[in-house]
Amino acid sequence: MIKVIIIFLSIFILYFPLKFLGTILLNIVGTPGSLIALKSTNKKQSKFIIGVILCLIAHSYIYFSIIIYLMNWARSHINPNGFSRYFIWIFCLILITGSMEAIYKTAKMEFEENNRNLTGSPKYLNPQIESLSILRSLVFIAFFIFLFFPSLTNPLWSWINNIGFII
């Protein structure tokens, strides 16, 4: 029982670093898509669509890597036959989707704040915001795919299994 409480506390404590590091990492990997879609004013422009696709590929790869790492950590600390694993997986899902929502809201708020300061100029679109909007639903689906089919992580994310756990 003590081990379960420690796992719950660890998951709760991981929310803030995940939100902070996730924001920084997703900003960095989404930069090429943003540069391609620079000064897009319409969602139907080809450069905006290409920028969103590039951002979505980069964002999903990085955030799915974070999901897989967290799930590997949880698998290493729980009893596979115990009832407490269901509670731990629910907390992992809340951590992953909650931090994704927080990243999205922060990015959208910053973008709207920066757009509000530009008076008289056209309102440009940001492909990273659109990508994060799509990624919010993909994260929820990917969690269950990686939970029930962990072997699907091997072709693209096999390097994550070689990373040690901090806690």
- Residue 7 in any domain: the answer is yes
- Residue 84 in any domain: the answer is yes
What DSSP string describes the chain? -HHHHHHHHHHHHHHHHHHHHHHHHHHHHTHHHHHHTTT---TTSHHHHHHHHHHHHHHHHHHHHHHHHHHHHHHHHS-TTSTHHHHHHHHHHHHHHHHHHHHHHHHHHHHHHHHHH--SS-----HHHHHHHHHHHHHHHHHHHHHH-GGGGHHHHGGGGGSPP--
Q: Are 148 and 59 in contact (CB under 8 A)?
A: no
CA 8 → CA 76, 77, 98, 110, distances in Å? 14, 11, 15, 31
- Residue 141 in any domain: the answer is yes
- Residue 167 in any domain: the answer is no
Overall residue count recorded for the chain in this entry: 167
Backbone phi and psi for residue 44, each to the nearest 5 degrees, phi listed first: -95, 0
162 vs 35, more confident: 35
**Domain residues for 25?**
2-162
Residues 6-20: tens digit of each pLDDT: 776 777 777 778 888
Average pLDDT of the chain is: 85
- Percentage of the chain lying above the pLDDT 70 cut: 92
User: Measured between alpha carbons, how far is 141 from 162 in angstroms, rounded to an integer?
Assistant: 24
- Residue 91 in any domain: the answer is yes
Q: Domain total for the chain?
A: 1
Residues 82-105: tens digit of each pLDDT: 777 888 888 889 889 989 999 999
Residues 45-54: tens digit of each pLDDT: 888 899 999 9
- Residue 136 in any domain: the answer is yes
pTM reported for the whole predicted model:
0.84
